[in-house]
Amino acid sequence: GENVEQHPSTLSVQEGDSAVIKCTYSDSASNYFPWYKQELGKRPQLIIDIRSNVGEKKDQRIAVTLNKTAKHFSLHITETQPEDSAVYFCAASIRADKLIFGTGTRLQVFP
Amino acid sequence: GAVVSQHPSRVICKSGTSVKIECRSLDFQATTMFWYRQFPKQSLMLMATSNEGSKATYEQGVEKDKFLINHASLTLSTLTVTSAHPEDSSFYICSASRLEHYNEQFFGPGTRLTVL
């Protein structure tokens, strides 16, 4: 079945630096790739998503890139702030609606 | 729009009892609802997918007789954990999708289940 790998598992950066999280998926039929931010005990929050017909998408400090040939996609956060500290999950959709999640990255932004 | 609620937010029960968790889409009709389980410091694992009026589709390794899912309407799905045991203690999260937002899922706030 579909598998999504995510790296790194933890990431510590200084405030103002950039953070990059990478994911690889196994099923070439995947066509939807969302990224979620989850704070402790809370629901996942969609922060950005990309579809397979697009190579890059940006929303203020957050951007996502997709390489369909290599089957990987990445989250880029620029000018990080302490409030960006959370666990981030990537996911891939292998058919309409069903999401497979990556293992998560704990991001810590130090002031 | 696209608000999903869950009830209860927390539940503590004794081993052997059954617990029902409700998931509601408050301002839209959900074409599909999903149930996830999340253990501490782990990812979300899809348990099952349900569509209104039909049987749920369970992921491999999820016992359908233990985790009963009922999807009685386009706005309500319930998950019943039958004969709960301490190893069932987890964070259960539902989500719902809507036809106009192909692929996107809207998540409920989650239910923390603790089985003593």
Give contacts of A104 with chain B, Cβ < 8 Å.
42-43
Q: Do A97 and B32 touch (CB under 8 A)?
A: yes
> What is the reported pLDDT for B2?
87
Q: Do A96 and B103 touch (CB under 8 A)?
A: yes
Q: Do B44 and A41 touch (CB under 8 A)?
A: no
Q: Do A102 and B43 touch (CB under 8 A)?
A: yes
B115 touches B83 (CB < 8 A): no
Partner-chain residue, chosen from B34, B45, B110, that has the shortest CB–CB distance to A43: B110
Q: Is the pLDDT of residue A32 over 70?
A: yes
Q: Which residue has the tokens 């290599």?
A: A70
Please tell me the number of Cα atoms within 13 Å of B26 on its side-chain side.
Answer: 11
Q: Do A97 and B105 touch (CB under 8 A)?
A: yes
**Residue B99 region by backbone torsions, left for phi larger than 0, else alpha for psi between -120 and 50, else beta:** alpha
Sign of CA dihedral B47, B104, A33, B40: negative
pLDDT tens-digit series, residues A70-94: 999 999 999 999 999 999 999 998 7
pLDDT tens-digit series, residues B85-115: 999 999 999 999 887 666 789 999 999 999 9
> What is the reported pLDDT for B104?
84
> What is the reported pLDDT for B34?
94
> What is the reported pLDDT for A69?
93
User: What is the count of residue pairs from A and B with beta carbons less than 8 Å apart?
Assistant: 54
Q: Do A31 and B104 touch (CB under 8 A)?
A: no
Give contacts of B43 with chain A, Cβ < 8 Å.
89, 101-104
pLDDT tens-digit series, residues A39-76: 999 999 999 999 888 899 999 999 999 999 999 999 99
Give contacts of B32 with chain A, Cβ < 8 Å.
97
CA distance B43 to chain A (A): 5
User: What is the average pLDDT value for chain A, to the nearest integer?
Assistant: 94
Provide the 8-state DSSP code for B93: E
- Angle among Cα B80, B36, A77 to the nearest 5 degrees reads 155
Partner-chain residue, chosen from A43, A45, A104, that has the shortest CB–CB distance to B43: A104
Give contacts of A101 with chain B, Cβ < 8 Å.
43-46
Partner-chain residue, chosen from B31, B44, B112, that has the shortest CB–CB distance to A44: B44
Q: Do A42 and B49 touch (CB under 8 A)?
A: no
Tens-binned pLDDT, residue by residue, of chain B (116 aa)? 789 999 999 999 999 999 999 999 999 988 899 999 999 999 999 999 998 888 899 999 999 999 999 988 889 999 999 999 999 999 999 999 887 666 789 999 999 999 99
> What is the reported pLDDT for A60?
96
Q: Is the pLDDT of residue A97 over 90?
A: no
- Angle among Cα A30, A33, A38 to the nearest 5 degrees reads 140
